[in-house]
């Protein structure tokens, strides 16, 4: 939920850490801080606000020199976002500095013990407690920093990715991880620490991703030493070559990452099916499914666990799996599933969907599923992420980095991947005719061009946005495959424009939400030709007769809805099961333009963070 960056080497740490924090701001952005050591003093600068505020403050206070540095961008858990609670935190002696992403759950009892021993605390954070615990152990036990960190972490309960340095030993940073991501960039005579590889990708392609319950001693002139936190045993450090490039993590001329990512969808969808969709051979190739085919085919049911937008992709998958494969599917909010004592058996297949692969609730849900003997299949975007590693098998969406907090390409690529899985299973189970299977493959291959076509409606959507940008409420309606799209459209609008919006199954409107409809209420209705068209048209009439405003998402050439709606946005025709890949696009653009027109921070909406690594 926070972003951490560290540098150890011969260069000035300041510009590297600041730039790294800017790239990690998607992880949290309510306060930020940096600590640098220049051979004499550990200089600390922290502020409420964004990295740009930190930059202004650090430069005005001349805190810009030193070749060892740690930086942090925060999404508050313990203590309100202010200068004092911002990280880094120093120990009481001022010798140790720490940055932390996660939560120390038993910090209260540790704090009391430390207070008895004379420690004082300036912030409300759990992190300040942790750094003082490490200091206390270091002094009491007369051990090196690495050992003190290891002992301390065996006393804490919670989640963390931490980096700590001791100013009396400025050639070393100690890092550790449990539940929050941590990457170590290995350069020529220099090291980088970060929540993901984006802060160091222009310096090195070599990275070590720590596993949970591992720590590492990063020391100049030495190889990185990885150890297990529990028993202090040494583990081989696996240095992997990254596939990431700088273009993928920059805006490339777009005003916002969200807009860039919306426009990347044709490409991202292709990347998802590349190598898997083999239209000429008439097959779908997916090793993760092929190797575990029996598990899927013998499953009593599939349980999908996810949060937010990924949960909406799960709902689309429910429709397509039940439709094509005829396996019962349940879609669960991971946060509910993990706590409600669900019935899980070894005949269940659990699919976890997560862009980041780090969402705490989804991770906990799959751990629970595994404990109960279920087979867990991960659908993640971030390669090597915790959920990907925790799953028995899985497949990546290959959407490329998604930096905008509002998920866009993650959603469409998840649907693409889940559709491929459904098709593959339907074929293996003999549930789909050869002709229908081939139609699906051809249509899937045509989707990127069709998405490209929908994107051409951008100016038209922008105009519609200008008409409705000041309304207080929006309603989104859809049926069948487009019901989850209605939910997703409403979520997008809420999270980035702060307009209240609700998504509903169109037919449910008359059971309540219809009471909200008056001449002020814009209703976005997804009314494509395939998918209960006539029924949705009746719903539109019901809205019309109560003077609601209609924005219809319709199939190209549609006349009927056009004659009733205030505005329509056309999408090309496709197979019903694939319509969400097209109907979602105008809804993403609508929320984007409305948010921009309302001067909202589109990429970093208030109170949110890209990956929710706390409960
Ligand atoms: O990384 P995940 O897919 O697990 O994230 C789940 C949700 O936090 C995420 O989809 C969230 O709802 C997005 N901000 C929606 O745009």
585 pLDDT band, cuts 50/70/90, is: very high
Question: How does pLDDT run across 305-331, given as a tens digit for each residue?
Answer: 999 999 999 999 999 999 999 999 999
Q: Are residues 443 and 478 in the same domain?
A: no
Q: Are residues 199 and 114 in the same domain?
A: yes
Q: Are residues 524 and 410 in the same domain?
A: no
Q: Which atom of ligand 1 is nearest to the CA of 611?
A: 1
Instruction: Name which residue sits closest to atom 7 of ligand 1, judged by CA.
Output: 308
Average pLDDT over residues 95-105: 94
Percent of the chain with pLDDT over 70: 100
Q: Are residues 500 and 433 in the same domain?
A: no
Instruction: Name which residue sits closest to atom 4 of ligand 1, judged by CA.
Output: 354
Neighbours of 189 (CB within 10 A): 10
Q: Is 95's C-beta closer than 6 angstroms to any atom of ligand 1?
A: no
CB 200 within 8 A of CB 185: yes
Report CA(308)–ligand 1 centroid distance (Å).
Answer: 5
Residue 610: is its pLDDT beyond 80?
Answer: no
Entry pTM: 0.83
Residue 206, in any domain of the structure? yes
Nearest to 86 by CA among 209, 173, 207, 4: 4
Say how many domains are in the chain. 3
Q: Which atom of ligand 1 is nearest to the CA of 492?
A: 16
Q: State the pLDDT at residue 594.
A: 98
Residue 613, in any domain of the structure? no
Phi and psi (nearest 5°) for 59? -75, -35
Q: Are residues 433 and 463 in the same domain?
A: no
Q: Are residues 260 and 393 in the same domain?
A: yes
Average pLDDT, the chain: 94
Q: Are residues 216 and 311 in the same domain?
A: no
Q: Which domain holds residue 570?
A: 456-604
Ligand 1 pocket mutation pick from 357, 403, 404, 407 by most atoms within 8 angstroms of CB: 407
Question: How does pLDDT run across 443-455, given as a tens digit for each residue?
Answer: 999 999 999 999 9
Q: Are residues 342 and 260 in the same domain?
A: yes
The CATH number that applies at residue 159 is 3.60.20.10
Domain boundary among 455, 472, 501: 455
Average pLDDT over residues 594-607: 93
Q: Are residues 200 and 259 in the same domain?
A: no
| Strand ranges in 56-108 using DSSP code E only, listed in sequence order | 68-74, 89-90, 96-104
Q: Are residues 423 and 509 in the same domain?
A: no
Percent of the chain with pLDDT over 90: 82
Residue 36, in any domain of the structure? yes
Angle at the Cα of 381 from the Cα atoms of 274 and 488, rounded to 5 degrees: 100
Residue 78: is its pLDDT beyond 80?
Answer: no
Report CA(334)–ligand 1 centroid distance (Å).
Answer: 12
Q: Are residues 480 and 405 in the same domain?
A: no
Q: State the pLDDT at residue 141.
A: 96
Q: Which atom of ligand 1 is nearest to the CA of 309?
A: 10
The CATH number that applies at residue 461 is 3.40.50.10490
Q: Are residues 332 and 468 in the same domain?
A: no
Q: Is 405's C-beta closer than 6 angstroms to any atom of ligand 1?
A: yes
Question: What is the spatial distance between Cα 385 and Cα 517, in angstroms, rounded to a whole number?
Answer: 44
Residue 433, in any domain of the structure? yes
Q: State the pLDDT at residue 251.
A: 87
Question: What is the spatial distance between Cα 233 and Cα 570, in angstroms, rounded to a whole number?
Answer: 61
Identify the three-state secondary structure at position 242. coil
Domain boundary among 426, 455, 484: 455
Q: Is 407's C-beta closer than 6 angstroms to any atom of ligand 1?
A: yes
Question: What is the spatial distance between Cα 183 and Cα 194, in angstroms, rounded to a whole number?
Answer: 5
Domain boundary among 423, 455, 487: 455
Instruction: Name which residue sits closest to atom 14 of ligand 1, judged by CA.
Output: 406
CB 589 within 8 A of CB 463: no
Report CA(610)–ligand 1 centroid distance (Å).
Answer: 7
Question: How does pLDDT run across 389-440, given as a tens digit for each residue?
Answer: 999 999 999 999 899 999 999 999 999 999 999 999 999 999 999 999 999 9
Residue 531, in any domain of the structure? yes
Residue 611, in any domain of the structure? no
Q: State the pLDDT at residue 213.
A: 95
Residue 612, in any domain of the structure? no
Q: Is 579's C-beta closer than 6 angstroms to any atom of ligand 1?
A: no
Q: Which residues are catalytic?
A: 2, 610
């Amino acid at each position: 939920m926070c972003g951490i960056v560290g540098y150890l080497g011969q260069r000035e740490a300041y510009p590297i850490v600041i730039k790294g924090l800017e790239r990690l701001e998607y992880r949290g952005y309510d306060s930020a801080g940096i600590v640098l050591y220049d051979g004499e003093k550990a200089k600390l600068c922290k502020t409420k606000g964004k990295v740009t505020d930190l930059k202004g403050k650090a430069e005005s206070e001349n805190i810009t020199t030193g070749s060892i540095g740690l930086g942090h961008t925060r999404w508050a858990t313990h203590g309100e976002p202010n200068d004092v609670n911002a990280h880094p935190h120093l120990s009481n002696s001022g010798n140790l500095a720490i940055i932390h992403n996660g939560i120390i759950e038993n910090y209260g009892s540790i704090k009391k013990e430390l207070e008895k021993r004379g420690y004082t605390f300036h912030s409300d954070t759990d992190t300040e407690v942790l750094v003082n615990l490490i200091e206390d152990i270091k002094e009491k036990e007369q051990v090196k920093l690495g050992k003190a960190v290891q002992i301390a972490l065996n006393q804490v309960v919670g989640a963390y990715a931490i980096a700590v340095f001791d100013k009396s030993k400025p050639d070393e940073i100690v890092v550790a991880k449990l539940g929050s991501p941590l990457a170590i960039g290995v350069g020529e005579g220099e090291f980088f620490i970060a929540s993901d590889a984006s802060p160091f990708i222009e310096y090195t392609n070599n990275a070590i991703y720590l596993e949970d319950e591992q720590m590492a001693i990063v020391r100049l002139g030495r190889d990185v030493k990885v150890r297990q936190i529990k028993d202090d045993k040494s583990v081989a450090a696996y240095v992997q070559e990254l596939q990431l490039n700088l273009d993928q993590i920059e805006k490339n001329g777009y005003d916002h990452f969200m807009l860039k990512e919306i426009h990347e969808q044709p490409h991202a969808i292709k990347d998802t099916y590349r190598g898997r969709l083999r239209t000429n051979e008439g097959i779908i190739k997916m090793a993760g499914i092929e190797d575990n085919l029996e598990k899927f085919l013998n499953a009593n049911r599939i349980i999908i666990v996810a949060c937010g937008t990924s949960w909406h992709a799960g709902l689309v998958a429910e429709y397509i799996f039940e439709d094509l494969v005829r396996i019962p599917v349940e879609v669960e909010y991971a946060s509910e599933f993990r706590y409600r004592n669900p019935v899980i058996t070894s005949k269940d297949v659990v699919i976890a969907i997560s862009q980041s692969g780090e969402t705490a609730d989804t991770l906990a849900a799959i751990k629970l599923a595994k404990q109960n003997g279920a087979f867990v299949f991960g659908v993640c975007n971030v390669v090597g992420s915790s959920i990907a590693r925790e799953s028995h098998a899985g497949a990546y969406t290959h959407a490329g980095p998604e930096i905008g907090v509002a998920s866009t390409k993650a959603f469409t690529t998840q649907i693409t991947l889940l559709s491929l899985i459904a098709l593959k299973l339907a074929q293996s189970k003999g549930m789909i005719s050869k002709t229908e299977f081939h139609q699906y493959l051809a249509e899937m291959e045509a989707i990127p061009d069709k998405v490209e076509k929908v994107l051409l409606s951008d100016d038209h959507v922008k105009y519609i946005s200008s008409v409705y940008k000041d309304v207080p409420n929006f309603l989104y309606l859809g049926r069948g495959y487009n019901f989850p799209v209605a939910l997703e459209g409403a979520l997008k609008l809420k999270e980035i424009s702060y307009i209240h919006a609700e998504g509903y199954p169109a037919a449910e409107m008359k059971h309540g939400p219809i009471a909200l409809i008056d001449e002020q209420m814009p209703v976005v209705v997804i009314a494509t030709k395939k998918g209960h068209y006539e029924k949705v048209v009746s719903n539109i009439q019901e809205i019309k007769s109560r003077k609601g405003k209609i924005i219809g998402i319709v199939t190209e050439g549609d006349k009927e809805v056009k004659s009733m709606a205030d505005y329509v946005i056309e999408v090309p025709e496709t197979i019903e099961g694939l319509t969400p890949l097209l109907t979602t696009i105008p809804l993403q653009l609508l929320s984007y333009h409305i948010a921009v027109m309302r001067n909202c921070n589109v990429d970093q909406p208030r109170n949110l963070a890209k990956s929710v690594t706390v409960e």
